[in-house]
Amino acid sequence: MPARPDARMPPADARSSEHMTEADKSGARFLWPRLPPYPRVTDQTGRSATHGNEGGHPMNGSRIRAVGHYQPAKVLTNEDLAALVDTSDEWIRSRVGIRTRHIAAPDEPVDELAAHAAAKALAAAGLAPDDIDLVLVATSTAVDRSPNTAARVAARLGIPRPAAMDVNVVCAGFTHALATADHTVRAGAATRALVIGADKMSDVTDWSDRTTCVLVGDGAGAAVVEACAPGEASGIGPVLWGSVPEMGHAVRIEGTPPRFAQEGQSVYRWATRQLPPLARQTCERAGVAPEDLAGVVLHQANLRIIEPLAEKLGAVGAVVARDVSESGNTSAASIPMALSKLLEQGAVGAGDPVLLFGFGGNLSYAGQVVRCP
């Protein structure tokens, strides 16, 4: 008999303690440890091959400069799904709170979705492709094993010599990638990063299975992350992350062709029972009380998970993202898309503290409090 999802949850304060100052452990400002400078090396074009800030010196913090999102044109309604499988609008709304979702065309790959979102974020930041030296794409629906999605996005956008890598943590992928970008910028190994969450879940869905096909949608969201100016407070708080590896089978994309499957009740119990205290600890690490949050952006799994988790967090004054109702579960894309939409709608504004908290595949989680661009 498999262990309960909460049977072996590692203590949150065990997370990367060797990289934390005493101030961080007390919930105050996080400072990445001082590292030696990176050597300056040039590639065959004469451009710095290591990039990063001049000399590779560690920085005090990073911030989100701009965000953007993209969704395919096609909208799939609950009524459309009722024509495919034994379901109804009422059944779907009452169980997961989803009304519509966007579905990409067969010839619209996930890297194209990602590139559209990234281009919008770059435009909002007023930056050119060659201002970027790191591309991170959180996705579990890559076209091929190699070249990876990040390299494909860089090629589409004309980013000349970036470090480019994919992060596969399924629904928690974006917050893992954001933490990775933050740490990389703090270490002085990058100056500006494109952090993208993108998934084409329609490619890995069994459209004859009513328990999964009603959930998913396609899309992408992106953020430009850059080093803070001297003396500027960090705009990305310390990450709290972890997983329950022995319960990794609860959310899967497996088989040939790969298909999304999950053990819904196990995921629901874990998310609503185990994640609220972890979300509160994330706020504590940032030195922000839940009641002082302006926004809460959880992974957009379904409303039956989002609403109790947000309520137990105690963020009474915060707007809670509920983009899942219109977009479905877009996996790694859900958090950056929802944040971008809240900013676009004026529901949160520049400088506002917002909790981002991803969870899902591998029964992984990662969260941080960010200041809105």
Q: What is the DSSP string of 303-330?
A: HHHHHHHHHHHT-TTSEE--THHHH-B-
Q: Catalytic: 148?
A: no
In angstroms, the first-to-last Cα distance of the chain is 47
CB 331 within 8 A of CB 140: yes
Rounded Cα distance between 1 and 297, Å, is 34
Closest residue by Cα to residue 358 from 312, 274, 298, 314: 298
User: Coil, strand or helix: which one is 134?
Assistant: strand
Question: Strands 295-298 and 353-360: what pairing?
Answer: parallel
CB 86 within 8 A of CB 210: yes
Catalytic residue of the set 299, 302, 362, 372: 299
Residue 365, token pair as written in the block = 């989680």
Q: Which single residue is written with the structure tokens 């302006």?
A: 294
CB 4 within 8 A of CB 246: no
Rounded Cα distance between 94 and 44, Å, is 59
CA distances, 248 to each of 5, 68, 73, 365 (Å): 9, 31, 33, 12
Q: Catalytic: 283?
A: no
Give Dmax over CA atoms of the chain in angstroms. Answer: 61
Residue 70, token pair as written in the block = 């993209």
Closest residue by Cα to residue 223 from 188, 173, 189, 186: 173
Q: Which single residue is written with the structure tokens 């899902």?
A: 360
Q: Catalytic: 171?
A: yes
Catalytic residue of the set 51, 53, 78, 171: 171
Catalytic residue of the set 53, 148, 302, 329: 329
Q: Which residues are catalytic?
A: 171, 299, 329
